Structure 1
Amino acid sequence: MSVQSLFSDSNTSTYIIAEIGVNHNGSMDLALQCIDQAVESGADAVKFQTFKSEHLVTKHAQKADYQTNNTSSTESQLEMLQKLELSFDNFIVLKEYCDEKNIDFLSTPFDEESATFLDSIGIDAFKIGSGDMNNIPFLEQINKYKRPVLLSTGMSNLEEVREPLATLKDCSVAILHCTSDYPAPLEDVNLNAIRTLHKEYRQVTGYSDHTSGIEIAIAATVIGARIIEKHFTLDRSLPGPDHKASLEPSDFAKMVQAIRNVEQALGDGIKRCMPSEENTKIVARKSIVMASAQQAGHILSSTDLAIKRPGTGIEPRFYQELIGKQLTHDVLEDQLLQWDDLK
Structure 2
Amino acid sequence: MQNGTRYTMANLQAYMLRCLADVSPGFGIDPERLCLGLGFEVADLADPDCRLSFRQASEMIRRAVTLAPGRGIGLEVANQETISSIGLVGYALMTSPTFGDAVRLGMSLQNHAGAMLEFDCVEEGATMSVVAANRFHEPDIEVFLVEEAFGSFMTIARTLAGGEFRPSSIDFSYACPAYVAQYERTFDCPLRFGQKDNVFSCDLAWAKRPIPTYDPLSHRQVLSFFDELRAQEDEDSELIESVERIVRRDLRRAPTLEAVAAQLCMSERTLRRRLARSGVSFQALLDGVRQRRATALLSNPRLSIEEVAYEVGFSDSHNFRRAFKRWTGHGPRGVRFAV
Please indicate, yes or no, whether the TM-score normalized by the shorter chain is above 0.5: no
Q: TM-score, normalised by structure 1?
A: 0.21
Q: TM-score, normalised by structure 2?
A: 0.21
Select the structure of larger CA radius of gyration: 1
By percentage of residues, which structure has more helix?
2
